[in-house]
Structure 1
Amino acid sequence: MSQKNVEERPGQLDSAVSQAAAGTESALEIRDTELDDGSAGQGHGPGDGPHVPAGQDGSTNRGLGIAAILKRLLLFARPFWNKMILAVLLAIVGAALTVIGPHFLERITNEIEAGLASTIDLVEVRRLIIISVIILVLSFIASYMQARLMVDATQKTSQNLRSSLNKKIDGMPLAYFDKTSHGDTLSRVSNDVDTLSQTLNSAVSSVITGVATLLGASLMMFITEWRMALAGMFAAALGFILSLFIMKHSQKYFVLRQRELGALNGMIEETYSGHSVVRVYNAERSARHEFHNRNEALYNTSWKADFLGGLMNPVMMFVGNLGYVVVCVVGAILVINGTIPIGVIVSFMIYIRMFTNPLTSIAQAATGFQNATAAGTRVFELIDEEEMPDESDKPADVPAVRGHVSFDHVKFGYDPDKTIIHDFSAEVYPGQKVAIVGPTGAGKTTMVNLLMRFYEIDSGEIRIDGVPTSSMRRENVDALFGMVLQDTWMFKGTMRENLVYRTEGVTQEGLDAVVEEVGLKEFIKQLPDGYETVMEEDGALSAGQKQLVTIARAMLADDPLLILDEATSSIDTRTEQLVQKSLDTLTAGRTSFVIAHRLSTIRDADIIFVMRDGDIVETGKHTELLAKGGFYSDLYNSQFDPAE
């Protein structure tokens, strides 16, 4: 995404703020209706169509499966495969050293038992103890290195995954954000990726070490005493089968939990971004009711997921204790019969622990994998969403333009079955100030969105200096336009950074001149640190002051084409007169598109496009259109006395 595109899109992407007043009100009305029929919790959000909460958009609740998730995660981990392979080898070495240790403990026990009848060979006992300690130290070093390598590899894989999601969102069409809850998208990028990261960091290491230890312990048990090995492993197998049964029935609840979490986040983000509307319309009750429903749904799925997942640990503890009992009984019988020495029982007590502990770790990791499967399904659903077409084959340079804009039989609809712009044709010549007026829903803002390629037209063509915008890269189209939106946007940073944003080469003198021209000079003087005062997105600035900042930002950017979408809507009448002069300076020599409901602000426009139901119904200057006595005259006279 181009730097300018970053600036323009927040007004589109961050609809939770920019559309709160329009969307939240309708959402609350829907929720109040739903409360009457008991269907609360299925509310709609802002946007052109119904908001579909996570898990209710027609997608299935079944996950991709742990094998598919791990396969795709391994693709992200490709640059770190060498570290992962070395970690696996070190895990095998560490496990091998660990399972060898009890063999020497068995020999120490046997030496002591044999020496009870005569003399204990302390030299041999000391030698065996030293070997055991060395084995334990080497096992610790191998395990430490394995954990270090795996943590490094998994965290960098998570970093790659986040980078891919960030790039993916940059390449997503705005239509996706119109129909998808922003809170749900944020939940995928934050909560779900964090869940995957935690699983990679802990569960994967546990499984690698556990499997290696499990295999090593099994081998050593069979080498030491095959009858006791069979008895102990039979008891463990019962617990493992029970764990698989639990996993099979708990997986669906882990998937549902992630989806309910995304739905709850979406509802919270929507409600609190429009908090003032909720207060004004006394909708706290319905908002609390919906929150309660979603919170209850999340509680129910989380309780079932955690309860079934939590059964793993007590089941495996039972298996471990059962294994001790079986080994002791079978071992005691074999010792009484003189088949084995007592040292075998001592070593087997450790082997059984080595055999059952990895099963416990693997069972716990399985719970983590269930979370990862649910989270991974949602993450990869986002990654698999259709992106905007690749434009790398188009010219990379931003063209120099004069500002001749042509609309040639443009047709468009947000929904393929519902056309909004029917057959829009117009010519705008370099340096003209074009006003686009019409009632709400006429298609004014839609035309601007199409001009900047925020959406692709269904048919027809838009050309700048004879070059179709469809043949230009989106970021190059964006680079041609400055924009002042009705919905202002500021980020956390200094006032200077908010004013200059991504415009390079701005001098202090140029900044001061623009600030004075838009009427911000006195306000900035009152700030504690002047231009260096850190501003918050929702800080102490009024709506009018924020709009002045965005106007100054556009003036500093000095782009050849300009879009003003209700640029003075949040400014009082006195300030509007001052800003209007600044806007006249800003639009001088630039092709400008002005969307305005206050028709007094566009009297001096070179040409006025009057839109109704997606079509231009009248064109001309202000005085000409008034003289016609048509639709424009009706709009104007509805705001002003005809005597004016």
Structure 2
Amino acid sequence: MKQKNKINFIYLIGKLKGHLPTLLLGGISMIIYVICWPILAWLSGKLIPAIGQGNTKQVLIVILQALIIFIIQKTAQYLQDSLLAKPALALSQDLRTTLFRKLQKTNIIFIEKLSSGDIAYRLTEDVDRVGEVIYKSIQDTTPSIFQLLAVFGYMIFIDWNLSLATIILAPLIALLVSDFGGKVLKASEQSQDKISSLAGLLSEAVQGLPMVKAFAVEAWLQDDFDKQVKLHKEAKYKMLRLVALQHPIVGLIEIIGILGILTIGTYRIQTGGMSNEEFGSYFTALIMLIDPISHITTNYNELKQGQASLRRLNEITNKPIEISSSERGITPDRIDGKLSFKDVCFSYNDHKEVINKINLDIDNGKIMALVGPSGAGKSTIFSLILKFIEPSSGSIFIDNYNLNKVNTNYLRRLIGIVPQKTFIFSGTISEAIRFGRPTTKANIVNAARIANAHGFIEELPDGYETFIEERGNNLSGGQLQRISIARALLGDPTILLLDEATSALDAESEESVQKGLQQAMHNRTVLVIAHRLSTIQKADKIAVIEKGEVLEVGSHKELINRQGRYKDFCDKQFIKSY
């Protein structure tokens, strides 16, 4: 299911309607700011003849009047900028939170295809760029357009014949700005793609730095990083060069126009078409057009860069969301935890099937281990149970309810999962076990006791309020894994999914974690992905999976006696029967 709401600037500006009072006050300030420009041009027309005549009194009066207008204008400009900044920043904040909300609903398969650095860049830099465009559109581009209209209207009022020469230049400048804008958009997209790649590499480099050092390949990583930096520099330079070229070309056209107006204006004065005072006001107004044209040109380029960012943000909004909406589905009063797979098939993007007509029954309160080579489909079974993905065909049942018809959030609250690679957010141990769920301190402690974690937590200086650093650097792997088990047990789940939870631990840590796992599995339906077969010999059932198919199911002793694929695996790991 894809998102239909495409984010564009019209959609974003429409979101500003919730800030109408602030926008109204900002708009009034903008009108006052714009009106001051033709008044200043008119005062300039009065000032020039007074200077020429040496009329000091008149000069001082006009200067005082101009000063008052300047003060009014700058006050209005401050109010305009500060008032309009609030809705623009609120819009940027709303956009970022909306995108993050959609990101959390996006199908997990598509999230895994994006690098964490790229996603972080999109939700920070790209959103900031879009917010900046909205702010400048309101605070700078709009008053610049009104300034152009007001000042040019005053110029027409003074002498419409002379204004025709100015109008001729406008389409030429507009065509140039539009042409450059298209090129800037393309160059900006390339630049942002390169910086996203750089952000992704940087994220990987920080996480993998210990491994890089261990293999002494710092030079290789530096070379790869330098290449990405160079590619970004070249793409960015291409964009900046286009922007840099646009300004002198537009500026040259403006100067040619000014010189032409001076020539025509001189002729008009000589023929009596206009007075010196009128021409002074007209020429001042003409100079006043340069600044808004420059602002509009610059902001147009930034608009194009913002469009590139919007396209990248829409790549997130257009990703398929989870098919099973958490807002729909049944919520049974009681679930015992029996799981049944009936002819279940699954394939990614209609390619070769990862799961092929699997039939499995896991009785409630029993332990089933899934064994087989990497890529056999074991993790896919976990993803199917969690409804990260849905079967291409066949059905999965929990008790007698089709999994597709069960409310997703309700289902996931029934399941606890302990992954092979422990991931814990920074925060206190209490927060790590709670994991955003409403509960009591007693429940947290109870979950920690079952997970065999309470003892070491109590020995820490701050106990349950001990802060876990990023990536859990201040705790051992065994301690983190036991916290992960406590996190899984907090909601008293009916079903427990264990993904080889001790494979990365040393013998001493594994013993502590195994004790916690044994206590955690009591009276629960448990599925275990196991690579080390020594850890699952006491499972009620063992399913051997290979190439997406179930080859054999039975207890450890039964499968050993069957002399099949499981026996081969055991022989390779030097495991015998009881």
TM over 0.5: yes
Amino acid corresponding to residue 151 of structure 1 in structure 2: A
Instruction: Give 1:567 shift.
Output: 1.4
Q: Which residue of 2 aligns with 1:301?
A: 235
Write the letter of the residue equivalent to 1:95: V
* Separation in structure 2 between the aligned mates of residue 518 and residue 196 of structure 1, nearest angstrom: 47
Instruction: State the partner residue of 2:487.
Output: 553
Distance between the aligned counterparts of 2:373 and 2:284, measured in 1? 81
CA deviations on 1:516-571 (whole Å, 9 max, x unpaired) are 55454554355443322221222222322211211122233321111111112233
Q: CA RMSD in A?
A: 2.9
Q: Distance between the aligned counterparts of 2:174 and 2:338, measured in 1?
A: 73
Deviates more, 1:153-162 or 1:262-271: 262-271
Query: How far apart in 1 are the matches of 2:327 and 2:237?
Result: 52
Where does residue 367 of structure 1 map in the other structure? 301
SS of the equivalent of 1:609 reads strand
The Cα of 1:342 is off from its aligned counterpart by 2.6
CA distance in structure 1 between the partners assigned to 2:307 and 2:214 by the alignment: 42
How many residue pairs end up in the alignment? Answer: 572
Matching of residue 264 in structure 1 with residue 198 in structure 2:
yes
Q: Is the 8 A contact 2:451 2:519 kept in 1?
A: no
- Contact 2:498-2:526 at 8 Å conserved across structures: yes
Please state if 1:441 is matched with 2:441: no
Q: For 1:634 and 1:442, locate their aligned partners in 2 and report how far apart those are by CA, in whole Å.
A: 16
1:69 aligns with 2:69: no
Equivalent position SS for 1:180: coil
Per-residue CA deviations over 1:107-147 (Å, capped at 9, x if unaligned) read 3544666x76xxx695x777766654444344334333332
d(CA) in 2 for partners of 1:351, 1:396: 70
Q: Does 1:459 align with 2:398?
A: no
8 Å Cα contact 2:452-2:515 kept in structure 1: no
* CA distance in structure 2 between the aligned counterparts of 1:308 and 1:235, rounded to whole angstroms: 21
| Consecutive unaligned residues in structure 2, runs of 5 or more | 1-5
Q: What is the SS of the residue equivalent to 1:491?
A: coil
**Aligned runs of 1:202-601 on 2, under 5 Å?**
202-232=136-166, 234=168, 239-281=173-215, 283-389=217-323, 391=325, 394-395=328-329, 397=331, 399-508=333-442, 511-512=444-445, 514-515=447-448, 518-521=451-454, 523-525=456-458, 527-538=460-471, 539-601=473-535
Given that residues 323 and 352 in structure 1 are in contact (C-alpha distance below 8 angstroms), is that contact kept between their aligned partners in structure 2? no
Using the alignment, how far apart are the partners of 1:594 and 1:257 within structure 2?
Answer: 46
Q: Specify the SS of the correspondent of 1:434.
A: strand
Quote the Cα distance in structure 1 between the aligned partners of 2:189 and 2:441: 54
What amino acid sits opposite 2:368 in the alignment?
V
**Is the CA contact (8 Å cut-off) linking 2:88 and 2:131 kept in structure 1?**
yes
1: distance between equivalents of 2:350 and 2:216? 37
Could you tell me which runs of 5 or more consecutive residues in structure 1 were left unpaired when the two chains were aligned: 1-63
Alignment of 1:180-219 (within 5 A): 180-219=114-153
**Deviation for aligned residue 1:163:** 1.9
Deviations, residues 93-115 of structure 1 (Å, cap 9, x unaligned): 421232122213323544666x7
Mark the CA change 1:89 to 1:525 in structure 2 (over 3 Å): closer, same or farther: same
SS in 2 for 1:311: helix
1:103 maps to a residue whose letter is W
Q: Cα offset for 1:355? A: 1.0
- 1:98 equivalent to 2:37? Answer yes
Task: Give 3-state SS (helix, strand or coil) of 1:568's partner.
Answer: coil
Given that 2:482 and 2:516 are in contact with CA atoms closer than 8 Å, whether structure 1 keeps it comes out as: no
1:150 maps to what in 2? 84
Q: Which amino acid aligns with 1:530?
A: G
Q: Within the alignment, does 1:639 sit opposite 2:570 as a pair?
A: no
1:496 maps to amino acid = S
Query: Any idea what the Cα deviations from partners look like across 1:456-485, whole Å, max 9, x if unmatched?
Result: 111111111101110012212111101111
Shift of 1:349: 3.4
Worse-matched range after superposition: 510-519 or 379-388 = 510-519
- Counterpart CA distance in 2 for 1:266 and 1:518 is 35
Report the CA distance between 1:311 and its aligned residue: 2.7
SS in 2 for 1:642: coil
- Give the distance between the partners of 2:78 and 2:324, measured in 1 at CA: 45
Task: Note closer, same or farther for the CA distance 1:180–1:582 as it changes in structure 2 (3 Å cut).
Answer: closer
Separation of aligned partners in 2, 1:502 and 1:121: 75
TM-score, normalised relative to structure 1: 0.81
Q: Deviations over 1:549-603 (max 9, x none)?
A: 1112223332111111111223332333333232222111111111112222212
Task: Kindly provide the amino acid, as one letter, of the partner of residue 506 in structure 2.
Answer: D
State the AA in 2 paired with 1:229. S
- Structure 1 residues 418, 277: closer, same or farther in 2, change over 3 A? farther
Q: 1:424 Cα shift?
A: 0.9
Q: Which moved more, 1:431-440 or 1:90-99?
A: 90-99
Query: Relative to 1, partners in 2 of residues 1:391 and 1:104: Cα closer, same or farther, differing over 3 Å?
Result: same
What is the CA–CA distance in structure 1 between the aligned matches of 2:461 and 2:420, rounded to whole Å?
28
* Secondary structure class of the residue paired with 2:139: helix
Query: Bigger CA drift: 200-209 or 169-178?
Result: 200-209
Structure-2-length-normalised TM-score: 0.90
Give, as a single letter, the amino acid of the residue that structure 2 aligns with 1:551.
I
Question: Residues 239 and 555 of structure 1: is their aligned pair in 2 closer, same or farther, counting only changes over 3 Å?
Answer: closer
Residue 282 of structure 1 deviates from its aligned partner by 5.2
